[in-house]
Each structure stands twice: as C-alpha cells, then as structure tokens.
Structure 1
Amino acid sequence: MNHRRIAVFPGTFDPITLGHYDVIIKSLNLFDKIVIAIGNNSEKNNMFSVKKRKEWIQKTFLDFSGIEIDLFKGLTISFCKRKKAKFLLRGIRNQLDFEFEKNLYYANKKLYDCIETVFILSSYERSYISSCLVREIIKNGGNYTIFVPNSVRI
C-alpha cells in the first residue's frame, strides 16, 4: 500500500509512557501511517533492551492500523528518507521541550528540506510524564504503572 502522509515519531521509548501514547493517539487521523522509530541514542543509558521496548510498543498498538514500529540508528533524518516520510512527529510537554525541539527543527530543515515537523502538545494531565521520571520511579520501587500503558510491566 502506498502511503502519502507518512510521519516518523522517533524516540528511545525507555519505556513508552502515557505521554508518548497521547501524542500518537492525537496524531492518528493526521497521517496515513505513523512509524514509531525506536532509536539507539549513544548518549542515553537505556534501562530496557530495544527488544523489550519494541515488544511493549507492539502490545500497546496491537489493535491500531496505520502504525509501524521500527528500529533505527544514526540520524533521524536519514531514517525519514529511507521510510519516505515527509513528516516528523514530535511531542511538546513544556517550554523546555519547545526550545529543544525548535533547534532540532531548524537543523533538520537544513539537512533535509523536504521534511516538515509537526508538533503535538501533550495533554495537560500528562505534560509532566517523561521516560526519565518513570525510570526514577522504577529504580526507587514506586508505582510506575500509572504513567505507562498497560503493556509496560516489569
């Protein structure tokens, strides 16, 4: 099937959170296909294996059509080119995210002018949730399950 509006939603998803889920659900009717791209960021010390992260995402979106899950290394823009994606999907939780994402936007435009970044604001109720927060809760024995989809169980 030839998809016209392909978006890549990149991240480490270590683990996937309800914030990530929120952005994807809000975006489903904007695109023909969303590629959830699990990246291997060399600067991040991942708590969970790529295999486990992919499994959680697959279980989370099992009943959704138009979602593909893939792994990538290197530049997100190179991955977008390979996937023939014209859109880069990014979630914004707060002002800090916006400043960070704005700089990435300009760099990505320089590298690949054909890509357009679409920013989706997370819902207010989930704007504080991050994978980093969830990992800290897990490390310290707290109830992480209220911040992640049901598929994420340690």
Structure 2
Amino acid sequence: MRTALYPGTFDPVTNGHLDIISRACQLVDRLVIGVAINRDKGPMFELSERVAMIEAECGSIAARTGTEIFAHPFENLLIDCARDVGARVIVRGLRAVADFEYEFQMVGMNRALDDSIETVFLMAEPEHQAVASRLVKEIARLGGDVGPFVPESVHRALKARLGVPDRAVKRAL
C-alpha cells in the first residue's frame, strides 16, 4: 500500500489544501493528513477543530478517489511523523518561488535524517496560488469575503469564531 503524508497546520483548511489532497490521492492508496500542533504559530482553531474540518471535507474526496484519507495530529519532527504513519512519501504543495526556497531547505534536512522518504511537490492550481491560511484569516478578521478561498463549512466556522456578520447584515447596518 502506497502511503503518503501531507503535513500542515491547516488553520484553517483552504480550497488550495483540498486541491492538493485531491490530486495526491491520484498518486497513493492512503493519504495521511498530518495536522501540526505547532503552538508557536498560535492557531485560530483548536487542534480538534482543525482535525474535524479536514475529516469533514475529505470524506467526499476519499469516496470519489477510493483513497483512504485520515487526519493525524503530530508535534514531533516531520520525518518521525512520516515513519510513525508508515509514509514513504511526503507531499508538499507549492504556490510560488518563495515556497520553493523554504521547501528546498526542508527536503535537504529531511533527506539527511532519512533518505528513504521522498518528498513530492504538487503545484497549486492557478486559482489557488495566492491562497494561504494566514491571508484567509486576515481577510476574515477584517470582514472580507473568504468564500472563494475555503469550503462553505470553514467559511461558517471562521464567521462564527470571529463574530463576523454576513455581508447582507453588514449592508443593512
């Protein structure tokens, strides 16, 4: 069984993440979504909420592709997480040249730690190349419409977390 690990904080999961997940499912039999705990980033959503969002959004992808997908929280080294879940491949999404520079360094370090685990890069589709969870949260905090960047359930969760009214409500005020 070909197993891959797709790691990230997924705070929150975006349409770009889901695009990479869907495309990675064409390459493997089992895809583990590694949800990084990373307290240093100060996530907006609790770990359990991020895991639940991923599980909710990936159910239809798993059904469509026949790939087993599950979320796996982790706080250890990425390479150790890959070993823990039996992944021989780490999937990373790239949006821009800036992503490549960081990812290039990470591949080098991961290969030094375990050269039997490969990293595969998938380029984000053009409509998702500017989407980053950090920017989605910023837009949402300022009352902008993040609907084009996240699934509807995540959009609702962001609004609820931030206490942001719908645009229709804002126009009425």
Corresponding residue for residue 112 of structure 1 = 114
Give the TM-score of the pair, scaled to structure 2.
0.84
Corresponding residue for residue 29 of structure 2 = 32
Structure of higher CA gyration radius? 2
| Relative contact order, higher structure (CA 8 A, sep 6+) | 1
Corresponding residue for residue 97 of structure 1 = 99
2:50 matched to 1:47?
Answer: no
Corresponding residue for residue 139 of structure 1 = 141
Partner Cα distance (1:110, 1:150) in 2: 40
- Contact 1:60/1:150 (<8 A) preserved: no
Q: Percent identity?
A: 38
Shift of 1:7: 0.5
Runs of 4+ in 1 over 6 A off after TM superposition: none
One-letter amino acid matched to 2:59: L
2:37 matched to 1:62?
Answer: no
Partner Cα distance (1:62, 1:30) in 2: 17
- Contact 1:12/1:40 (<8 A) preserved: yes
One-letter amino acid matched to 1:45: G
One-letter amino acid matched to 1:151: S
Corresponding residue for residue 21 of structure 1 = 18
Extract unaligned runs of 5+ from structure 2.
158-173
- The alignment partner of 1:90 has SS state of strand
Q: 1:12 aligns with which of 9, 14, 20?
A: 9
Corresponding residue for residue 71 of structure 1 = 73
Corresponding residue for residue 123 of structure 1 = 125
Give the TM-score of the pair, scaled to structure 1.
0.94
> Once the two structures are superposed, what CA deviation does each residue of 1:38-83 show, in whole Å capped at 9, x if it has no partner?
0011321111111111111111012314111111112111111111
Q: Is the helix fraction higher in 1 or 2?
A: 2
Partner Cα distance (1:91, 1:28) in 2: 13
